[in-house]
Amino acid sequence: MSSFQLDLLVVGGGSGGVRAARMAAQRGARVALAEVGALGGTCVNVGCIPKKLYSFAAGYAEAFEEAAGFGWQVAHPTFDWARLKANRATEITRLNGIYRQLLVGAGVQLIPGWATLVDAHTVQVGGQTYTAENILLATGGTPTVPGIPGGEHAVVSDAMFDLDPFPKRLLVVGGGYIACEFASIFNGLGSQVTQVYRGTQVLRGFDDDVRHFLAQEVRKAGVDLRLESDVASILHTPAGLEVRLVGGETLTVDQVLYAIGRVPNVQGLGLEAAGVAQGKDGAIEVNAHYQTSVPSIYALGDVTARIQLTPVALGEAMVLVDHLLGPKPGKAARQMDYELIPTAVFTHPNIGTVGLSEAAARERFGQVSIYRSEFKALRHTLSGSTERTLMKLVVDDATDRVVGLHMVGADAGEIVQGFAVAMKAGATKAVFDSTIGIHPTAAEEFVTMREPTAQ
């Protein structure tokens, strides 16, 4: 019997931490999980789940406008921000409870409070110490706070779900997926949204066609997107927040959201005292087995700043448990593959993507063929909306494999998920071509694009 109180002590109750704790406990390990906040982490409480719920809410505004084209006479709808907030809070509380039930049901000891490393096998929470053979750090990330005059008047994404009152005029600072999503959401909910980004185009790292197409669509929808622009200062005035942009222009808004990126949530963890090596922005450095520079301490998810996606943290958690405790009987140990990870951006319209951008594919493979289609979806032939859809395939000429698939349009995430399975299986363009499409759908376009638009 180990001399430690626990076999595994998990610090952080987000997606990765909860999954690792529950799976390890189900294998018979003595597991505890320390969490200072609500269970579920960023995704459940102030990220993916509430953000998509609000995205659904924003989508109803578009649906009301489009209904007339299909024969529906809809009275002028009104939006109740307080009701949306209350209903969202009820659902998140329900999810928090489910996470708790899953952990307790698996036999995990829950330790409320902030955990700090004491040494390689010891953690302190609320003045009490706990020892464990292995410690897992899964504390996630936290929004970057601006360092400009008046920056204290701005909010970060965590605060956007409970703003009071609803901001009739909103300035979003940033060009990543979080900034773009909130700009679309609040624009749809009725806010006058201005988005400023210091770069030449939003969504750095995505395929260039996707970036330019999305920028065009959100502008059509009403977002005042300003590129190569940034905030110099924010001043609180009786009329609202007076924002001075670099270059001298001023805007008066009700709220400023800074969404300029997230950094690993490592402050106060005691990493230095325990000797855990860190990289850029404090990210915890790990090897292929998620082991830190201290052999008994592991880390996964956003705190390692690898790929900051909830499903990635879940996958890493399952791989780690197999590494520490062995795979389930009759099963091979899980492996994490960071290639072909699908992702979605819940802007209006949505983005779905898996694999390489055109630029990355050309750099890796040299000769590639591009298949691109842009069209008005069938729905919008009657809706009156000018929204268009973009679909794009990137094919490696040497193998005929589809190495990149990108979409901007309704339900892009739902559509791309299925194609991601095919790409993981090594589907070639010939396989795509031989697959019968479902008609009439937007998704069928991915299997009917026959002629390359660029090589």
pLDDT in tens, 367-398: 999 999 999 999 999 999 999 999 999 999 99
Cα 232 to the center of its chain, rounded Å: 28
Statement: residue 31 has pLDDT above 70: yes
Q: What's the pLDDT score for residue 247? A: 93
Between the alpha carbon of residue 55 and those of residues 94, 161, 245, 350, the distances in Å are 20, 11, 28, 10
What's the confidence (pLDDT) of residue 109? 98
Average pLDDT over residues 301-311: 95
Q: What is the pLDDT of residues 203-224, one digit of tens each?
A: 999 999 999 999 999 999 999 9
State which H helix or E strand residue 59 sits in: helix 48-67
**Mean pLDDT throughout 422-437?**
98
Please give the CATH architecture assigned to the domain spanning 151-260.
3-Layer(bba) Sandwich (3.50)
Averaged over 217-244, what is the pLDDT? Answer: 98
Q: Look at 330 and 30; give whichever has higher pLDDT.
A: 30
Residue 65 has pLDDT above 70, yes or no: yes
Distance from C-alpha of 162 to C-alpha of 51, rounded to nearest angstrom: 12
Q: Give yes or no on whether 151-260 and 343-447 have one common fold.
A: no
Class of domain 6-142+263-325 (CATH, top level):
alpha beta
Q: Are 379 and 310 in contact (CB under 8 A)?
A: no
Residue 2: pLDDT band with limits 50, 70, 90: confident
pLDDT at 191 over 70: yes
DSSP 175-239: -SHHHHHHHHHHHHHT-EEEEEESSSSSSTTS-HHHHHHHHHHHHHHT-EEEES--EEEEEEETT
Domain locations along the chain:
6-142+263-325, 151-260, 343-447
Task: Give the model's pLDDT for residue 188.
Answer: 98
Joined tokens for residue 320: 């780690």
CATH homologous superfamily of 343-447: FAD/NAD-linked reductase, C-terminal dimerisation domain (3.30.390.30)
112 cis-preceded (ω within 30 degrees of 0): no
Phi, psi for 329 (deg, rounded to 5): -55, 130
CA dihedral 416, 419, 425, 427 (to 10 degrees): -130
- What is the arithmetic mean of pLDDT over 272-296? 97
pLDDT at 202: 98
The residues that are catalytic are: 439
Measured in whole angstroms, the distance separating CA 445 from the mean position of its chain's CA atoms is: 26
Does the predicted TM-score (pTM) go above 0.95? yes
**pLDDT attached to residue 146:** 84
Residue 1 has pLDDT above 60, yes or no: no
- Mean predicted lDDT score pLDDT of the chain: 97
Residue 145's pLDDT band, with cuts at 50, 70 and 90, is confident
Considering the chain, what percentage of its residues have pLDDT values greater than 70? 100
Q: How confident is the model at residue 81 (pLDDT cuts 50, 70, 90)?
A: very high
Alpha carbon distances (Å) from 68 to 62, 206, 212: 11, 35, 30
